[in-house]
Amino acid sequence: MQFIYLVVIILFCLGLYTILMNTNLIKIIIGINIMDSSLVLLLVALSYKPAGTAPIIDKQYSVIVDPIPQALALTAIVIGASITALMLLLTIKLNRYYNTLDISEIRRLRG
Amino acid sequence: MIAAIFLIVVPLLAGFSFLFIDKYLAKFRKLFILGTGLITLLLSIELLIQVIKHPLVYNLGNWKEGIGISLIIDPLGGILAVLIAFISFIIILYSLSYIKNHQLKYYTLLFLLITGMLGMVLTGDLFNLYVFFEITSIISYVLVAFNKNDTSFEASFKYMIIGSISGILILLAIILIYQSTGTLNLAQLVITARVIPIQLKKVITVLILIGFGAKFAVVPLHTWLPDAHSTAPSPISALLSGVVIKVFLYALLRVLFILFKVDELLALDFNNLFLYSGVITLFTGHLLAYRQDKLKRLLAYSSIAQIGYILIGIGLFNERGLEGAIYHVINHAVVKGVLFMTAGIFILKTKKKNIGDLKGVGYQLPLSSFIFTVSALNIVGLPPFNSFISKWLLLHAALKAGFIIPASSILLGSLISLSYYLRIIILLYSKVKEELTSIKISYQLQLAPLLLSLFYLPLALFPNFLLLLIKKAPLFLLKTINYYNILLGGKEWIGLFG
């Protein structure tokens, strides 16, 4: 059980490292996505119970999982997907105007 | 009570039904846009009148308290809702004559931005706060890129990288809070936050400070703001600088005061953190504004500096400081709105973005230049104007609490801002060799800044009326047990010193 938190921490740090160490726009977007996914994994891991079922109030279902983190995970996935879509769109536009994907060359705004 | 939910529903519905109106009922387009803005404003005023008498709870879907999502509105939320609705209404009025192409996209996004901001100040649920936070952020990214040129895409992308990382940090903080307390309702968190171990609490605080701090441009995280606010279309710059950053500041305050009691914050030296980051933000903003040569960039840096003033007021963690800070939030929203709108008129009519080229514009665009001059002197904090009152309140509060450096930096910062605003005013009214004739300009374009600048008068002449409203806010922000009592339907509030 503790193993999953280690995976979450590794994924989170890997995402942050990818964002900080790369100058390629696509790789930065991938880094943000990895960070986002690690949090979704954390949310799912928090609500996990061995042999847990859906939260239906009935005698048959005695071990139920907490539904709230799963609802949060769905929302987080939706928000992450929309941000990714917008970022990719902007990357296309930036590539058209600057003819590069290197973020250190995209700097006409200074000061 | 109904006004609370309709305040979110009306702009949301208007945003999406505008697609339909634009296609089939194009005649009523202007009426529809203005009507929605007006209805939102009236609803927010009705809500404020209710909330000042008694703060209220609205349970969505009629679930019991604490199960479903609830809206909890206290006086500060009410005041900010009116501010958002009012500035948005003026911006809509201005946009009607300023935005000429892609109107469909523009107004849909604008209404959704208003929804996001209103949702953030009205909600009483932590995760709902995060959802509205992301709605506001995503719409801001799109609207920054609305001009569709190289610099606006660059600014939007920069904003988006910093913004989405800050969003991830906020989400992590919310997950940690939920894991250790098992609740997401902000009012219930007042009680349950006591069980969070202090080490974890510190981690959560760091996450929300960086997360929300990046959004309202506290200094090491401010780099996106001048780019984003200067490349956006002028009405959007006015809205972003005026209210959007203040809404993120409100979210930070709300969550921070719920996690910690005021004594705990003072014991952990949070007041110094806020005060001195305020001082640093103030000086960085002012000094960088001083060396700008583009008008809108200068105004954007000035916004960063004003956030510094507000942070100093908050950092005192007492009633006086918060009153000054809230009053300054209102003043800055109004004045910076006017400044950005008039700067937009300059750029639209003269096609000049640099400050050096503004020579003699005062004779070409007399009314706009006059409004700009009055507003610039206002935001510097010269005595007859309203910003003077809020700066005076902040100064008084800082001196009373015994913080000399923040108090003196308020004065010194205002002096720096006088120097760079005076430079623009002198350029506006300096004579040039060739004959200048006044440029024809439609009254509609000037109506919105004129209307908003007329509000300096009541803000400056009758500050006591507004302060009467503002005085109720710290009771629910600092003594969070009162915020919890709203949920229980309590009638008695515990005083600040009780």
Q: Would you tell me how many other CB atoms lie within 10 Å of the CB of residue B128?
A: 21
> B40, B454 in Cβ contact below 8 A?
no
- The segments of chain B whose pLDDT lies below 50 read 498
- B151–A109 C-beta distance less than 8 A: yes
Domain boundaries, chain B: 261-461
**Whether B1 contacts chain A with CB within 8 A:** no
The DSSP line for B100-139 is: -S-HHHHHHHHHHHHHHHHHHHHB-BHHHHHHHHHHHHHH
* Helix, strand or coil, per DSSP, at residue A41: helix
A85 at the B interface (CB within 8 A)? no
Residues in chain B: 498
Second CATH level (architecture) for the domain A2-49+62-105: Orthogonal Bundle (1.10)
Q: Which residues of B touch A68 (CB under 8 A)?
A: 178, 184
- Kindly report the nearest CA distance between residue B463 and chain A, in angstroms: 38
Q: A-B interface: how many C-beta pairs under 8 angstroms?
A: 85
Give A36's contacts in chain B (Cβ within 8 Å): 168
The structural domains of chain A, with segments of one domain joined by +, span: 2-49+62-105
Q: Report ipTM for this prediction.
A: 0.94
Rounded to an integer, the average pLDDT of A28-50 is 91
Nearest to B153 among A69, A75, A90 (CB): A90
Q: How far apart are CA B59 and CA B50, in angstroms?
A: 16
| pLDDT confidence of residue B53 | 86
According to the model, what pLDDT value does residue B58 have?
87
By the 10 Å C-beta count (0-12 exposed, 13-18 middle, 19+ buried), B17 is classed as middle
pLDDT recorded at residue B497:
53
Work out the pLDDT band at A68, boundaries 50, 70, 90: confident
Q: Inter-chain contact B154–A91, Cβ cutoff 8 Å?
A: no
Under 8 Å CB-to-CB from B40, ≥6 apart: which residues? B7, B10, B11, B85, B88, B89, B114, B118
Residue with tokens 């005060």: B275
Alpha-carbon span B302 to B310, nearest angstrom: 13
Quick one: pLDDT at residue B498? Answer: 45
Structure tokens at B213: 């701090």
On the question of pLDDT at A1 being above 80, the answer is: no
Q: CA A101 → CA A74, A92, A104, B145, distances in Å?
A: 31, 9, 9, 18
Q: Which of A36, A30, A39, A32 is nearest to A8 (CA)?
A: A39
> What residues in A contact B175, CB-CB < 8 Å?
39, 42-43, 46, 69, 72
pLDDT per position as a tens digit, A22-36? 999 999 999 999 999
Chain A residues in contact with B297 by the CB 8 A cut-off are 111
Chain A hits for B178, CB-CB cut-off 8 Å, are 46, 68-69, 72
- Could A87 and B160 be called an inter-chain contact, meaning their C-beta atoms sit closer than 8 Å? yes
Per-residue confidence band for A111, with pLDDT thresholds at 50, 70 and 90: low
